[in-house]
Structure 1
């Protein structure tokens, strides 16, 4: 009976895994084909695998420039999110002051506001400040969009830290900032790693915000660049597949090496400790 139950669970999970892996395998196979091979048979293995399409996508198409833009923007955005989110999370999760509950509920409510609701006011504000088509403008937009999520996770994590730790640090003469810097920040490193990875994935995979705020081809992020390839290379699917593969590899590596931290970030605050 137990073996039957295992098979009933294993079969759909294997089917789900196959459905997840097959698109990546198919894209890799197409990226290694010539245009002629793809037209003749798109599903068969490449007769003579080659990297010409990858080189074209990387150099001529501009994927290298798009990758650089994404790396700079995502790194700066995640750094700001971790600093601001950890400080606000400590204040809202561990301290009690007038209006703290209201601020926490406000951050929680912001999670339910879709970006489409605020994108027109955001674009007008960015244009008025001269931040359209600039990396700082996109960084600030990412921080504004994902800061409530970061605060929520960090506040949930810090809320389970015993209050006696904060009291003991204050008795030893630490200021609130000293408690945060010397005590709470080191304790919160596991949560910071998890939320940092999640925010990096959110920013990296974003298309809508980057497309709205970075209209020029020179400043496109990687995902926007891949989206633009669909129109430019609609008759050259192998080159388009090569661009998709280049964009997918960094995300895939993050998932493979940091999957444990990603799970911890998703479940942060659901259990004590």
Structure 2
């Protein structure tokens, strides 16, 4: 065996094991969701004897997962739209509009990346309570924007820094204002980065549990992930129904990863190279 093939096998074995460890929980959850309660009690690891779709139907209609799903779609859509609008404007300003304090402001954005939500959870809850935004969709959207905006600004600033300064100068010479340069030049150029960052922001908001659980106490306004966590107590003796809820919450994320994996990878590396 040549050295190249041997090196390939050395790399392929751990990567294959990692892929198996990643896929197995999804396969196991799907198998459990398709079992009856009796089949699960008798042998939780055996393949489902007959695919029982009643668990999925019951989780979607009877438990309220459809309402939680709609809540998540509305909140995530509004949050991502605001994040991309504010983040792209701030990224363009920090990358191409040099003003007094811009470097300090960018360092502040970097510092905010290292502040976990647990640190600001109590002050944020008090502010939201005082403003009457607790248990409202606008309040949750604003909380998501505040939490994930530093990440969005950082990536878009890094991307816009790779755009040649001559492009901006030429647009200004043609008579465009600062807003014209942003709207007519920078937004179209930044479309790939906006898509990548938007996908990442959507995944962050969709998978969130702590922020939504802190600010949305009522069952009517729960997001999908919080609704799934509530199933654990409600269906602690019916694991297949709980697994069906988990599967419903995981399928949209899986679809996004399958079809937009290139954009996700580009978003992680946005601005890391020049040209």
Assess same fold via TM > 0.5: yes
**Pairing 1:186-197 to 2, within 5 Å after superposition:** 186-197=188-199
Q: Please state if 1:210 is matched with 2:208.
A: no
Separation in 2, partners of 1:256, 1:88: 30
Separation in 2, partners of 1:263, 1:170: 33
Q: Deviations over 1:76-109 (max 9, x none)?
A: 0000000000000000011101111111111111
3-state SS of 1:218 partner: helix
- Give the aligned partner of residue 38 of structure 1: 40
Separation in 2, partners of 1:173, 1:270: 31
Q: Deviations over 1:113-147 (max 9, x none)?
A: 11111010100000001000000000000000000
- Give the aligned partner of residue 241 of structure 1: 243
Which one of 238, 250, 253 corresponds to residue 252 of structure 2? Answer: 250
Q: CA deviation at 1:35?
A: 0.2
Q: CA deviation at 1:211?
A: 0.2
- Give the aligned partner of residue 52 of structure 1: 54
The alignment's TM-score, normalised by the length of structure 2, stands at: 0.98
Which one of 203, 206, 212 corresponds to residue 201 of structure 1? Answer: 203
Q: Please state if 1:125 is matched with 2:144.
A: no
- Give the aligned partner of residue 107 of structure 1: 109
- Give the aligned partner of residue 178 of structure 1: 180
Q: CA deviation at 1:65?
A: 0.4
The total of aligned residue pairs comes to 273
Structure 1 vs Structure 2 CA RMSD: 0.6
Runs of 4+ in 1 over 6 A off after TM superposition: none
Q: Please state if 1:260 is matched with 2:262.
A: yes
Separation in 2, partners of 1:38, 1:160: 55
Q: Which runs of 5+ in 2 are unaligned?
A: none
Separation in 2, partners of 1:14, 1:235: 35
Q: Deviations over 1:187-206 (max 9, x none)?
A: 00000000000000000000
Q: CA deviation at 1:53?
A: 0.2
Separation in 1, partners of 2:183, 2:218: 40
Which one of 68, 71, 88 corresponds to residue 69 of structure 1? Answer: 71
The alignment's TM-score, normalised by the length of structure 1, stands at: 0.99
- Give the aligned partner of residue 143 of structure 2: 141
Q: CA deviation at 1:50?
A: 1.6
